[in-house]
Amino acid sequence: MKRLHCLLLAIGLTLTVFSSAGFCAEKIIKMSTTTSTQASGLLDVLLPELEKDTGIQVKVIAKGTGAAIRDGKDGNVDVIFVHAKAREEQFVSDGFGTKRYAVMHNDFVILGPPADPAGVKGMKDVAAALKKIAAAKQPFVSRGDDSGTHTKEQALWKSTGLPLETSGMKISSGGKDKEISFTHPQGLGEWYLSIGQGMGKTLTFADEKQAYTMSDRGTYIKYKFGRDVPLELDVLVEGDERLANPYGVIPVDPKKHPHVQYDLAKQFAEWLVSERGQSVIRNYRLLGQPLFYPDAIP
């Protein structure tokens, strides 16, 4: 009888362990997000606080916004956290996401070498600055990766009124090659360099070439002030309202993909826009400089 009692106790403990493991597994969600949220260091601070408050763990897949949105459309993730507002709203209107939650913003900046051979330093009109860079045929490095930053950059080139061309390019995302098309000024491969890489690699490449480029401010600050070997590039153009960079989070719609962890994704999104999540974003600084500004709770 005693042996039977011990056996039943052991079975009970085993079932408890498996039950607890199952419960923990249910608290893990997959998120596809832009490289800037990761490269800026924000997620390293944000996600541990989320787990403390909710028990939710987030498996992060960082890539360009276009690829992140495709992950959501394909049902490969439970939630997307990106920065291309028009594409995000289209994602929701097409039935792939339930709701766009406005989380935070920073801005884009035009960077370049301190010598500034194109003479754009201090300009407020970003379209006029890009026209000067193009006229001078100074090297400009584009991410060229269908990201939110790349989407914004293409819109800015369109605003210049310069003759533009459309080209195709094969890039690698998640171990898979894909073909993208993009709009760019004349001079591809000469002074305009499209490299199909994330923000960090683009900054490093532009720094090596002492070229102009466009970056979200958060990643730039991280690479300029948060590394032992800082970038030599400076902020040359900033402040134009066209350089605004809002971020949104969107749970994938379970009507489209029933297997997604919608309840947890929704809880995650609502935590991000709560006073608690917004305060973590507001207080995240690098060497005293804020990298993002909360949008849900000013």
27-105+246-294 adopts what CATH topology? Answer: D-Maltodextrin-Binding Protein; domain 2 (3.40.190)
Taking the C-alpha atoms of residue 233 and residue 290, their distance in angstroms, rounded to an integer, is: 19
**Nearest in space to 79 (alpha carbons), one of 270, 263, 265:** 265
Average pLDDT over residues 189-210: 95
**pLDDT tens digit sequence for 230-246:** 899 999 999 999 999 99
State CA 97 to chain mean position distance. Answer: 17
**pLDDT tens digit sequence for 161-179:** 999 999 987 766 556 677 8
Q: Is the pLDDT of residue 182 over 50?
A: yes
CB 221 within 8 A of CB 286: yes
CB 45 within 8 A of CB 218: no
Q: Is the pLDDT of residue 8 over 50?
A: no
Q: Is the pLDDT of residue 3 over 60?
A: no
In CATH, the architecture of 107-245 is: 3-Layer(aba) Sandwich (3.40)
Separation in Å, CA 126 to CA 8, 179, 203: 73, 29, 19
pLDDT of residue 17: 46
Among 97-111, 135-149, 154-168, 221-235, the minimum mean pLDDT is found in 221-235
Q: Is the pLDDT of residue 135 over 60?
A: yes
Are 27-105+246-294 and 107-245 the same fold in CATH?
yes
pLDDT of residue 172: 65
pLDDT of residue 90: 97
Q: What is the DSSP secondary structure assignment for residue 243, as one 8-state letter?
A: G
Q: What is the DSSP string of 207-227?
A: HHHT-EEEEEHHHHHHHHHSS
pLDDT of residue 24: 45
Taking the C-alpha atoms of residue 245 and residue 256, their distance in angstroms, rounded to an integer, is: 28
Separation in Å, CA 298 to CA 37, 84, 212, 269, 281: 20, 21, 33, 17, 11
pLDDT of residue 235: 97
Q: Is the pLDDT of residue 150 over 90?
A: yes
Q: Is the pLDDT of residue 21 over 80?
A: no
What proportion of the chain, given as a percentage, has pLDDT over 90? 74
CA angle 132, 137, 143 (to 5 degrees): 90
Taking the C-alpha atoms of residue 51 and residue 54, their distance in angstroms, rounded to an integer, is: 5
Average pLDDT over residues 133-137: 98
pTM of the model: 0.78
Taking the C-alpha atoms of residue 54 and residue 134, their distance in angstroms, rounded to an integer, is: 50
pLDDT of residue 162: 98
CB 192 within 8 A of CB 185: yes
CB 103 within 8 A of CB 247: yes
Specify the higher pLDDT residue, 263 or 22.
Answer: 263
Taking the C-alpha atoms of residue 275 and residue 156, their distance in angstroms, rounded to an integer, is: 34
Average pLDDT of the chain, as a whole number: 90
**pLDDT tens digit sequence for 46-89:** 999 999 999 999 999 998 888 899 999 999 999 999 999 999 99
Specify the higher pLDDT residue, 18 or 142.
Answer: 142
Average pLDDT over residues 93-108: 97
Domain boundaries, the chain: 27-105+246-294, 107-245
What is the maximal distance between C-alpha atoms in the chain? 91
**Nearest in space to 211 (alpha carbons), one of 150, 133, 135:** 133
CB 33 within 8 A of CB 60: yes
